[in-house]
Amino acid sequence: MNWNIGAKIKALRLAGSMTQEQLAGRLGVSPQAVSKWESGTNMPDIQLLPDLSVIFGVSIDALFDMTDDSRMERIGNMIDAVHFLGEEDFRNAESYLKDCREKESMEGNATLLLARLYNKRAEEYRELASPLAKKALELLPGTKAAHNAIFDAENGPYSDWNFTNHHGLIAYYKQVVKEHPEDIRNYFWLLKLLISDGRTQEARVYAERMKKVEHSYHYEMFMAEICKEECDLPAALEWWQKMTEHSPEKWVVWAEYASCMAKLCRYEEAITNYRKAMTMRPKPRFTDCENAVSQIYEILGNIPAAIEMRKEELRVVREDWTTEGEWTDSIYREIHRLEELL
């Protein structure tokens, strides 16, 4: 990233027909300080950036001479690391990404980032909606619309088939598989949708096609899910066993198996296998296992154990990712929430 903010300040100052003395006066610094910024000897204090953006009539981002790649990387990091995006940050990112979509070389990445940005905003609004909907139900007991608002905010399960089936998305992914039949991951998304909708006969067909492309442990995993959906639990358990035998060295296999046991409320088996997966993960380690085990302990009413597992999650994040921000902040919020339950 090019942080040549001094050259940018000089260009903006000259474009505004402003002398170094005039800019210094408006900022409350010496003309020598401005001269040092523009020569690259020093950089302005971070606290002056908002004033500089106001004086020049540009965003703070515009003060930095960033490449397109750097700016897009920054937007991606902002989406991941910030709990709630400020309105100015959101609008600047949205406008920039829309412009980038007009450039052929950037259209793909810009389109993906714009989709992620909109999903981020949707998640933020759902988080804001949830406590309001719950308060509405408290104020208006028994109101169906309040229950609906809670379910919409929290992704609650509806029973209405016409509202919850994925026939449109299934048709889309069938086309994706047709156009890219050698990409095994395309089958994953299609199979998840088919099984979710109970369309197990179709799922079996696509599972066999996937197996011909590559026989990974995913074949056994999806066959188990198909059998479970068909209410044949003994067959599902056999397929899950085959999955662990197929790739016993892969930590994700044991994490998947643990997840399946958790969905069956076989919590002790789930915890055992999540912990097995934890011991096998390479660094940098993802923390889905700690997250899941903490939730299981909370379901079981063991709040102290749930807190300890969240603290373990925090330790792993800090050791392996050396990061602070929304990831660690979200864990702190969960620890605080759990502590209030004690």
Q: Is 91 found in the same domain as 48?
A: no
Burial track 217-233 (b if 16+ CB lie within 10 A, e otherwise) = bbbbbbbbbbbbbbeee
pLDDT score at 333 = 95
Q: Which of 176, 177, 174 is nearest to 166 (CA)?
A: 174
End residue of a domain, out of 221, 248, 275: 248
End residue of a domain, out of 48, 63, 78: 63
Q: Is 171 found in the same domain as 99?
A: no
- Does 326 reside within a domain? no
Q: Is 173 found in the same domain as 231?
A: yes
Query: d(Cα 124, Cα 84) in Å, to the nearest integer?
Result: 6
Query: d(Cα 122, Cα 125) in Å, to the nearest integer?
Result: 5
Query: d(Cα 291, Cα 167) in Å, to the nearest integer?
Result: 32
Q: Is 53 found in the same domain as 32?
A: yes
Q: Is 73 found in the same domain as 43?
A: no
Q: Is 167 found in the same domain as 216?
A: yes
Query: Coil, strand, or helix at residue 103?
Result: coil
Q: Is 77 found in the same domain as 53?
A: no
- Does 266 reside within a domain? no
Q: Is 104 found in the same domain as 73?
A: yes
Q: What is the pLDDT of residues 223-262, one digit of tens each?
A: 999 999 999 999 999 999 999 999 999 999 999 999 999 9
Least confident of 40-49, 218-227, 263-272, 292-301: 40-49
Instruction: Tell me which of 248 and 11 has the higher pLDDT.
Output: 248
* C-alpha neighbours within 13 Å on the C-beta side of residue 30: 4
Range of the domain at 204: 157-248
- Does 334 reside within a domain? no
- Does 150 reside within a domain? no
Q: Please check the confidence at residue 74 and state whether its pLDDT lies above 90.
A: no
- Does 285 reside within a domain? no
Q: What is the pLDDT of residues 87-111, one digit of tens each?
A: 988 998 999 999 999 999 999 999 9
Q: Is 14 found in the same domain as 53?
A: yes
Token match 């079981």: residue?
Answer: 300
